[in-house]
Every structure is written in C-alpha cells, then in structure tokens.
Structure 1
Amino acid sequence: MGDRWQVEVDRGVCIGSGMCVNHAPDGFVLDSARQSHPRTPQSDANEPTLTAAEGCPVEAILITLAATGEPVFPPEE
C-alpha cells in the first residue's frame, strides 16, 4: 500500500469486543477496561489494520492518511 496511516480508536464508542486484536494483534491492544488502543498512533498501511477497522462491530476505529488527513476508514460517503 505504501502510505502511512494515523490510527485512532474512539473509546467513547468502543465496546471492547476484541475483534481488532484478533484481526491485527500487532496493531491493537485492549487495556484493563477492555478499551482498544492502537499500539502506535501511526503505522504503515497494512491489511490487518484495515480488516480490524472494517470488522469493528461499532466502527470505533478511524484510519486517515497521516500526510493529508484524508479518510481511509470509514470512507467518506
């Protein structure tokens, strides 16, 4: 993919399902309150992180292009 992504989790929306950790264990971790956090706020674009965002049951994961802020997921409608 070649781009750098800014990855955020809206903890007000996150329900702690753990799906993100299952899809991208190198990208996400759950804290003691079962709230998801990206392991690093920026990462190289990668399929597991995108799959985690797409699989989040409440769409709590936000991915933007680090250089421009353009949305990657969820896509603009």
Structure 2
Amino acid sequence: MTTATAVAPWGLSRMTEPLPSVSSPYDTIQFDPATQLTSFHDEAGVIVAGATISYSQGGGSDGSKNAPKVADDSNTDG
C-alpha cells in the first residue's frame, strides 16, 4: 500500500499577503424603508459625504422595455 504525499491546494499558490486594514469612514448605517435608501453616518451622526448607494435612473436593465431599476454600483454619480 502506498501513502499519498500531502500537497497544498492549488489556490494557495496564488495567494498574496493580505491588504493592510483601514478604518471605516462611517460608524453606523441606517436604512430608510420608505425611500429604500441607505445612509452612512460618522461617530457624530453626520452623513458621510460620498458614502451613499444610488440607483441608475437611465436603465441598467437587460434592454427590455419597462424593466425594473437596478442598483448602480459605480461611483461616478458625483
């Protein structure tokens, strides 16, 4: 009977060092069920600028008419 030699999983050979951790620019997240919008607040309760989730008003669908709006995860809304 032969014994198998232990081999590291294939994916481990492609791993890199973890990125350094950074502090989050916000302290809490609040969701407004009426508007379906999420806001990010700092420790003082002030909304953090640029930390909002927006929705595309110009489509973002599969091309069919009257398709539902979808989340726009690009950060170009300015």
User: TM-score if structure 1 supplies the norm length?
Assistant: 0.23
Normalized per residue, the structure richer in strand is: 1
Higher share of residues assigned helix: 1
Rg (Cα) greater in structure: 2
Q: Which has the higher contact order (CA 8 A, sep 6+)?
A: 1
TM-score by length of 2: 0.23
